[in-house]
Structure 1
Amino acid sequence: MATPLAPARPAVAGGTPREREVIAAFSEVTTEAITATRLEDLLALVGQKLCDLLGVSRCSVYLRQDDGRFRGGAGWCGEAGNISAAVQAQEAGIPGDAFSREVIRSAAPVLISDVPNDPRPHRRTMEHWGVRAMLGVPLVFDGEVIGLVFVDNVAQEHTYTDDDVSLAELFGRLAALFIRQALQASRLAAQAEELDRQKRTLEYLADVHARLTGAVLEGADIRAVVGLLSDLAGAPVALLDEDLAVLTWTAPAPLRSGPPVLGDRARERPVLRAALAELSAARPSTVLEPSSALGLGRRHVVCRLIVEGRPSGYLTVVEAGRALGDLDTKLAERGATVLALQVLSERRQIEAEGQARDDFLSDLLHSHRDVAHLARRGVPFGIDLTEPHVLVRIAVDGGEGHLHASVARRLVVADLAARLGTDEAPATTLPGAVVVLVRLGDGAGVSHPDEVRAHIAAVADAVLPRVHVRGGVVSAVCREPEDFPRAHRELREVEELARSFGWSRRVVTLDELGLFRVVVASGRVREAVRFADELVRPVREHDGADGALLATWRAFLAAEARVQRAAADLGVHENTVRYRLGRIREITGKDPASLDTLLAARAAFQILELAGWFRDAG
C-alpha cells in the first residue's frame, strides 16, 4: 500500500541534522557538477547520495526528453556499482507503469511499500529488478518535472519514514537545480561541439573544393580528378555512364583489387533503378546500403552528374576498409559538381577543336588562305601538309529519317581509325557528304589510294545499318597544299555525276577512272555515255544469256590486253578467250587488241559502269 506523504519542509540554515546532511551531500554534487565532463556521471552521483541519505542500496535516474518521454539516464547499485547501461535501456511512464505516471502527475514523492502486491508498478520491470519497496522522487524545476529518481533495496524489504520521504523531496528539488544547470551546460557543450564540427566540415569541404578546382585549373583531366577524390576519401571512386558501366575508376593502393563494377543483374534490379531514378539536381546523392535486393555487397554513395540540365552519369564512392559517413556524401557531391563542370569543359573543348579543325579543312579544300598560313594551321591538328595525303569524299543521304551529317562523320572516322590502328582522321561535313583527310605512309596504316579505297568500302558496309552511304571517291595523292582544292573539285564533280547516274555504294579512286576524268573535266558527259553505249551495245545484243562476250571483253581490258591473264581470271582456256575476242571483232568491226580500241573500250566501260548500265543489264 502507498504510504501517506508529509508535506515537504524547505531546508534552512539552522535546519534539522538530516537537512544538514542533505546540504553536506550536495557539496560533493556541486563539485561534480562543476568538474564532471559527462552528465551520466553527475546523475549517478545524485542517485548514490540519495541512497546514502536514505540507507538504501540502489537507484535509477530518468530524464525527460524533448518529446515528453522519460528515458533512463544513469544508475548505481551498492553491490554492482555503476548500472547506467542497464538503466539507459529502459523508459519510465510507459503503458502499465501507473507508478511513474503518478509521480509525474503529482510532482511529489510516491512510496510503494509492498511492490509485489501493488497494481501500479510495471510488473515485468519490478520482477526483473527484484523490487520489494520503492520510493519515486520527482526532480522538479520551476514547477515542471524534469526527471525521476527511484530508490530501493535490492530484493529486500525497507521501511521509509515520513522524514525519509520529506528528505527525498528536498533532495530532489536541490538535485533538479543542479541537473537543470548540467542539462543546459550539456546542451551548450553539444551545440558548441556541433558548431565546431560544422566549422571543421566546412573548412574540410572548402579545402576539398579548392584542391579539386585547383587541379582542374592546372589541367587535370577527368581521370585525374577521380584519382584525387579517391585520395581524399581513402576509398575506391568510380565514374559511371548512364548504363552504370565504369568509365574510369581508381582506389588507394591497398584497396585496388578491381574496379567497383555493378553486375548486369544488379543494374537491372527494379529497386536499384528506382533508387537512382529519384536522384536529381535537388537531391544529388543517395546511400545504397548492402542488400540482396539491390545486388550490392558494400555500401555505395552515389551522386548524379548533371551537365547542362541533363543526366550525364554517376559518381560513386565505395565502402572499403572503413565505414562511409556523411562527410563522404558531401565529398562525393562536391566531386560530382566539379566533374560535371569538367565534363562540360572537355565537351566544349572537343567541340571547339572540332570546329577549328573543320574550319581548317574547309579553308584547305577551298584555298581560302595562303599556303604558308595553311601549313602552320595544320600543325596543332597533327596535319603535316608536306606529307602525302588523299581526300575521301563519302556521299551520304541526309534529311528526315537519316542521321545528321555530323553523326555520320563521327561513325565513319571512328570506324576508319579502328581499321587503320591510328588516331581519328581529320574530317568535315558538307551538304550530303563527309570529307576525310587520310595520310599515307609509315604509321598511317595505308600507303596507296587503292588501300584507302578498300578500307573506305569496308567502313561503308560497317556503318550501313545507321548511315546510308551512296558511294565514295578517293582522290589522287596530294603532296602540296595547292593540290587539295583541285582534288576536292574533282571529287565533287565525280560524286555529282555518280549521283545523277544512280551510283550504288561503289567506292572508286580517281586514278582508276583513267580517261573518264578527262570526260568529266570536258563537261561532255552525255555525248560520252552515248559513245560508250554505241560501242558496247552491238556486243550486248549478240551476247548469250550468260553475257560471256562482254565479260571476256572487260576481263581482257582489266588484264591489260594479256590473253593468258584474262583466261586465268575467267577460269577458261586461252583459246576460248581468243575465240570470243574474234567474235567481238566480227560484231563491232574493231580489233579489241588495237591501241585505239583498247583506249576507247576502257573509257566506255568505265562510263557505263558509273552510269549503272551493267547493273541494269544484270
Structure 2
Amino acid sequence: MVAEVAGAAAREHGLPGALLDGYLTALVEVAVHDRRLTRAETRHCRDLGARAAEQGVPLPALVDLYMTASRRLWPRLPRLVADARGRSLGSTGLVAVGEAVWQGADTALAALAAGHEEAQREVVRREEAFRREFVDDLLTGRSDVGSLVERAERLGLALTGSHTVTVAATDRPADSGMHLTKWLEDEARMRFGGRGLLVAAKDGRLVSVISSGPAQGRDGDGHALAEAAGPAVARLTRRPRWRAGVGRSHPGPRGVLRSYREAVEALEVAERLDLPDRVVHARDMLVYRVLLRDEAAISDLVGTVLGPLSDARGGPEALVATVEAYFADGRNAASAARRLHLSVRAVTYRLQRVRELTGYDPADPADQLPLMVAVTGARLLDWPATALSTV
C-alpha cells in the first residue's frame, strides 16, 4: 500500500519515486508507535534532499511531492495503524496519530530542505570552479582546443563557430564572487535569444563571450552586449563611470582568445587616450596598434616633433592639448577654444608657440600628419611623464 501511494504521488508530479524512498514507511512507523523520527530516518531524509538537488529537482517541487504523498497516505493511516495495533482507533487515538504524523512530516521536510540546500551550495561551488577554470583556460590559450570545445558545450557554447568578446571595466576591479554576472547572462539571453553566451569576471573586468550572428552590421551584437555589460559592471563595482571594449568576431576557440585580447587592448588604448566613447571597438583602434607596434620609433617621433615644447613656460602639456583639440575640431580654432574653455586668442597664441618651438605649423597641411601622429603617440606613451621618468 505504501509503495502504491508513493508511486501515485511521483507520477502526479513527474518525479522519480526513489525520492520518497523510506519516507512513507517512516510516517507509518511514527503513527503506529506514536514516536518521533529517529536520527537515522532524519538523516535519510537529508540525504534524499541532497540527491534531489544533484538531480536538478527544485526544492519547491520536492516539497510538493512530499506533501502530496503525505496527503495521499493520510486517509489510509487509520486502517494501517489499527491493523498494526490490533484494535480500532477512537477519535482521541486518531488525533494522536495525526499529531505524530504531521510532526514527523515537519521534521522530514526540514531535513529534506537542509540536505537540498547544502547539496545545492556544493553544486554551485563545483559549477563556479568549473566555469572559472574554463574561462581561464579559454582566455589564456593554455588548454588544447579539443578540451575547450568539449567543456564549452556544458556551458552552452559551440566554440566551432565565431564569437565576439566584450570587456567592460570601471576604476574598481570586478570581483568574480559578485553575482550580477548571472543577471547579465539572463538579460542578454532575453535580448539575443538562444545564442551561445558566457559572462565571467577576469582580471578585475567583466568579460562577455557571445556567438556571432549570421548577419552582423558594422557594430553588430558586440556593441549591444557591451552597452548592457557596461552598466552591469558599474553595478558590480558601484562606480558610475564605465568603459567597454569590443573585439572583432573570429572563429574557433583561438578566435575567442584573439577577440578577447583585442577587446582588452581597445579598452586600454581608449583609457590612455581618454576617449569620450564608452564603447570602443578593436577595429577602430587598429591605427593605434600600428603605432604601438614599434614603440621605439613612435617614442623617437614624439621626442623629435614635440620635444622642443618642453622649453615652453609651464611645460608642454597645455600646448599638446591645444594641438589635439585643434585637430579634433577640424582645425577650427573657435571650436577648439570652446572645447578647452579658452578664448580664441589664447588658442591661436598657443598654436603660434607650437610653430615657433617645433618648426611644425598646425595650420600647414604638410605638417599636420607628423603633428597628429606625434600628439597621438604622446597620449599613448603618456609623454612627457614617461620622458621625465627616464631621465
Structure 1 length as normaliser, TM-score? 0.37
2:254 pairs with one of 473, 479, 482: 482
Aligned equivalent of 1:426: 198
Aligned equivalent of 2:6: none
Aligned equivalent of 2:122: 348
1:66-102 deviations in whole A, cap 9, x for unaligned? xxxxxxxxxxxxxxxxxxxxxxxxxxxxxxxxxxxxx
**Pairwise CA distance, 1:418:** 0.8
**Pairwise CA distance, 1:464:** 2.4
Aligned equivalent of 1:515: 287
1:411 pairs with one of 175, 180, 186: 180
SS at 1:481 equivalent: helix
Does the Cα contact within 8 Å between 2:189 and 2:197 map onto a contact in 1?
no
1:43-80 deviations in whole A, cap 9, x for unaligned? xxxxxxxxxxxxxxxxxxxxxxxxxxxxxxxxxxxxxx
Structure-to-structure mapping, 1:11-50, within 5 angstroms: none
Gaps of 5+ in 2: 1-29, 73-97, 308-317, 333-360, 384-391
Aligned equivalent of 2:34: 198
**Pairwise CA distance, 1:222:** 2.0
1:460-483 deviations in whole A, cap 9, x for unaligned? 235525513653221111212233
User: Residues 589 and 379 of structure 1: is their aligned pair in 2 closer, same or farther, counting only changes over 3 Å?
Assistant: same
1:461 aligns with 2:236: no
Q: Give the aligned length.
A: 284
1:333 pairs with one of 90, 96, 107: 107
Does the Cα contact within 8 Å between 2:246 and 2:281 map onto a contact in 1?
yes
**Pairwise CA distance, 1:511:** 0.7
Higher fraction of helix:
2
Q: Residues of 2 paired with 1:458 and 1:217: CA distance?
A: 33
1:261-308 deviations in whole A, cap 9, x for unaligned? xxxxxxxxxxxxxxxxxxxxxxxxxxxxxxxxxxxxxxxxxxxxxxxx
1:588 aligns with 2:354: no
Q: Residues of 2 paired with 1:395 and 1:463: CA distance?
A: 6
1:209 pairs with one of 16, 22, 45: 45
**Pairwise CA distance, 1:223:** 3.3
SS at 2:250 equivalent: coil
1:178-200 deviations in whole A, cap 9, x for unaligned? xxxxxxxxxxxxxxxx9944269
SS at 1:378 equivalent: helix
Does the Cα contact within 8 Å between 2:166 and 2:207 map onto a contact in 1?
yes
1:416-451 deviations in whole A, cap 9, x for unaligned? 5414515793234333323222222169xx776554
**Pairwise CA distance, 1:405:** 1.1
1:224 aligns with 2:61: yes
User: Residues 459 and 201 of structure 1: is their aligned pair in 2 closer, same or farther, counting only changes over 3 Å?
Assistant: closer
User: Residues 440 and 326 of structure 1: is their aligned pair in 2 closer, same or farther, counting only changes over 3 Å?
Assistant: farther
Q: Residues of 2 paired with 1:212 and 1:334: CA distance?
A: 10
The one-letter amino acid paired with 1:589 is D
The one-letter amino acid paired with 2:212 is L
Q: Residues of 2 paired with 1:433 and 1:506: CA distance?
A: 15
Does the Cα contact within 8 Å between 2:242 and 2:278 map onto a contact in 1?
yes
Does the Cα contact within 8 Å between 1:474 and 1:510 map onto a contact in 2?
yes
Identity of aligned residues (%): 19
User: Residues 221 and 430 of structure 1: is their aligned pair in 2 closer, same or farther, counting only changes over 3 Å?
Assistant: same
**Pairwise CA distance, 1:225:** 0.8
Structure-to-structure mapping, 1:95-244, within 5 angstroms: 196-198=32-34, 209=45, 212-213=48-49, 220-234=57-71
SS at 2:157 equivalent: coil
Structure-to-structure mapping, 1:257-276, within 5 angstroms: none
Does the Cα contact within 8 Å between 2:165 and 2:222 map onto a contact in 1?
no
Aligned equivalent of 1:387: 161
User: Residues 382 and 358 of structure 1: is their aligned pair in 2 closer, same or farther, counting only changes over 3 Å?
Assistant: same
1:373 pairs with one of 131, 139, 147: 147
User: Residues 369 and 206 of structure 1: is their aligned pair in 2 closer, same or farther, counting only changes over 3 Å?
Assistant: closer
Does the Cα contact within 8 Å between 1:361 and 1:428 map onto a contact in 2?
yes
2:207 pairs with one of 435, 447, 468: 435
Q: Residues of 2 paired with 1:474 and 1:542: CA distance?
A: 29
User: Residues 532 and 499 of structure 1: is their aligned pair in 2 closer, same or farther, counting only changes over 3 Å?
Assistant: farther
Q: Residues of 2 paired with 1:441 and 1:532: CA distance?
A: 45
Does the Cα contact within 8 Å between 1:502 and 1:611 map onto a contact in 2?
no
Aligned equivalent of 1:452: 222
Gaps of 5+ in 1: 1-193, 236-323, 555-585, 614-618
Does the Cα contact within 8 Å between 1:212 and 1:228 map onto a contact in 2?
no
Does the Cα contact within 8 Å between 2:198 and 2:208 map onto a contact in 1?
yes
Q: Residues of 1 paired with 2:211 and 2:225: CA distance?
A: 13
The one-letter amino acid paired with 1:350 is V
SS at 2:197 equivalent: coil
Does the Cα contact within 8 Å between 1:470 and 1:503 map onto a contact in 2?
no
Question: Which structure's CA Rg is the greater one?
Answer: 1
Higher fraction of strand:
1
User: Residues 477 and 501 of structure 1: is their aligned pair in 2 closer, same or farther, counting only changes over 3 Å?
Assistant: same
Q: Residues of 2 paired with 1:384 and 1:196: CA distance?
A: 57
Aligned equivalent of 1:180: none
User: Residues 541 and 463 of structure 1: is their aligned pair in 2 closer, same or farther, counting only changes over 3 Å?
Assistant: closer
User: Residues 604 and 326 of structure 1: is their aligned pair in 2 closer, same or farther, counting only changes over 3 Å?
Assistant: farther
User: Residues 356 and 456 of structure 1: is their aligned pair in 2 closer, same or farther, counting only changes over 3 Å?
Assistant: same
User: Residues 374 and 523 of structure 1: is their aligned pair in 2 closer, same or farther, counting only changes over 3 Å?
Assistant: farther
**Pairwise CA distance, 1:392:** 2.0
User: Residues 347 and 526 of structure 1: is their aligned pair in 2 closer, same or farther, counting only changes over 3 Å?
Assistant: farther
The one-letter amino acid paired with 2:363 is T
